[in-house]
Chains A and B, each alone.
Chain A
Amino acid sequence: MTVLDMAQVSLREVNETLQGAARAQANAAYEIVNPRGSHAVAVGLDGPLSVTVKGSTGYYCAGMNKDAAVTVEGSAGPGVAENMMSGTVTIEGDASQYAGATGRGGLLNIKGNASSRCGISMKGIDIVVHGNIGHMSAFMAQKGNLVVLGDAGDALGDSLYEAQIFVRGTVKSLGADCVEKKMKPKHLELLAGLLERAGADAKPEEFKRYGSARKLYNFNIDHSDAY
């Protein structure tokens, strides 16, 4: 375990050290102390590496993560795990806006709440939120799974493509073209796996599934008067 103290070491040095360790493929373990809400902590890690951040982070923590396991023992600012490719990012506290935006793979595990636009334009990432999510979450989400143990805010899944959304609590409102769908055995199985990976204490049967009605995919000639 190597400790990097951000009261002593600059953000650039921290990220260069972590990125070098990731490239070395040695699966090393690092601990970052005194993050003090810094931006862009532990970004661009493209190899096996374990990073624990002792405290809260600012914008864009763990962006573009690939293969690494990053844990924030605090809350994360806007854009955590943006465009993540693989690996796992765990937030012990809350996540701010657009967590996991455009993510292509891996698991983003948020133990607290996530605010607005969680999983916006997600493209294959799995996101599990143990608390609630804010409005406009999974907007234009294309692929992957968003699992919410708490409640969802307004306009969930607006203009949704083929991502799947599972919510255990209430949904304040569904966005355009997002509908509740039947939970089939294969979905229960998928959900059980996601909940287990995230260490979430919930049963798949307690959730409802939401997905795209697929009515916005093509231009509808019957609506031409509306344009």
Chain B
Amino acid sequence: MEKDMCGIVGLFLKNDALRPRLGGMLTDMLVAMTDRGPDSAGIAIYGEEGEGVKITVQSDTPETDFAGLAEALAAGTGAEVAMKAADTHAVLTLPEAAAPAALAALEARGLRIMGAGKAMEIYKEVGLPRDVAERFGIRAMGGSHGIGHTRMATESAVTTLGAHPFSTADDQCLVHNGSLSNHNQMRRKLAKKGVMTRTENDTEVGAAYISSRIAEGATLGEALEGTLEDLDGFFTFVTGTKTGFGVVRDPIACKPAVMAETPDYVAFASEYRAFADLPGIEAARVWEPEPATVYFWER
């Protein structure tokens, strides 16, 4: 009955008036989970959906790698490219048609692709949650929903790529508390179907599994149901899509989870502490999600 590792949080706004405050609310939730996961932190935030595709990239040497990056990408793809750099991450916005060429060009330049999508931006780094959130200016970001993770690594190395959230398809991401025991087998199964993963991390396999099910036509709810059949181990998953937010716990459910709902939002966290600063939490419906039960909200 140890307190077990990692902290996860999620927030899905129902009241659009709260959108400008999303980053601030998520930052407070994430920082409250610091002692569950002090080695790295990450956040996926679903902001305003624009015309183009947003690609989030990471570099260990941003000064050199991000200098002139937008111009180079524009020249290479013939498309207009806007760049917003924040510390080790940069978000490049470009027309959807240019995205495949841009992704290939970015990888060729040695940049790490954190994720891509119409709405989603992903920021994750090694360090204390408070510092990570500050470096990226998460507090000032608005949006409709977001998920976050504070990591205490047990399955793979403490690196930026090992941090959560994991994104394995456009506008889809996943955070996880637990450890999967059949991730190597599932990684091979997914590879046979052409679904490739970038790391040795078990959570990335969970994310890839959900993405592959959605690509095959499943709804978010059906994909989450599938994790109960096909994934083995301990997990509480929180997942985001462009319009949705979902939660599922394994049948043993020893990883902690608590949810809160008001007319304004649905919130998830590993512990109630993360809810303490949410507006109207005193009057919220607070409950523990049932084991082996899928919860999801779509707008």
Contacts and interface: CB of A to CB of B under 8 A. Distances in A.
Interface in A20-41: 36-38
Contacts of B274: 37
Given A78-B256, A93-B286, A134-B291, A36 B1 contact: no
B256 A77 contact: yes
A38 B271 CA distance: 10
Interface in B255-296: 256, 258, 271-276, 282, 286-288, 290-291
Contacts of B228: none
A50 interface: no
A37 B271 contact: yes
A75 B256 contact: no
Contacts of A59: 3, 271
Interface in B178-201: none
B231 interface: no
B141 interface: no
B254 interface: yes
Interface in A81-98: 93-94, 96-98
Interface string A103-135: 000000000010110000000000000000011
A36 B288 CA distance: 17
B253 interface: yes
A38 B276 CA distance: 10
Contacts of B291: 116, 134-135
Interface string A57-74: 111000000000000000
A200 B32 CA distance: 36
A101 interface: yes
Interface residues of B, number: 19
A10 to B, nearest CB: 15
Contacts of A36: 273, 276
A145 interface: no
Contacts of A113: 287-288
Given A96-B256, A97-B256, A38 B288 contact: no
Interface of A is mostly: loop
Interface in B1-27: 1, 3
Given A37-B273, A58-B272, A116-B291, A96 B258 contact: yes
A146 B110 CA distance: 60
Contact of B288 (A57, A96, A98, A101): A96
A78 B1 contact: yes
Given A93-B286, A135-B291, A79 B272 contact: no
A137 interface: no
A58 B3 CA distance: 11
Interface string B215-231: 00000000000000000
A67 to B, nearest CB: 25
A79 B1 contact: yes
Contacts of B271: 37, 58-59, 77
Contacts of B288: 94, 96, 113, 115
In this complex, which of B253, B274, B276, B288 has the most chain A Cβ atoms within 10 angstroms of its Cβ?
B288
Interface of A: 36-38, 55-59, 75, 77-79, 93-94, 96-98, 101, 113, 115-116, 134-135
Given A75-B286, A93-B286, A94-B288, 8 more contacts: A37-B276, A38-B273, A55-B282, A56-B286, A58-B273, A59-B271, A77-B272, A135-B251
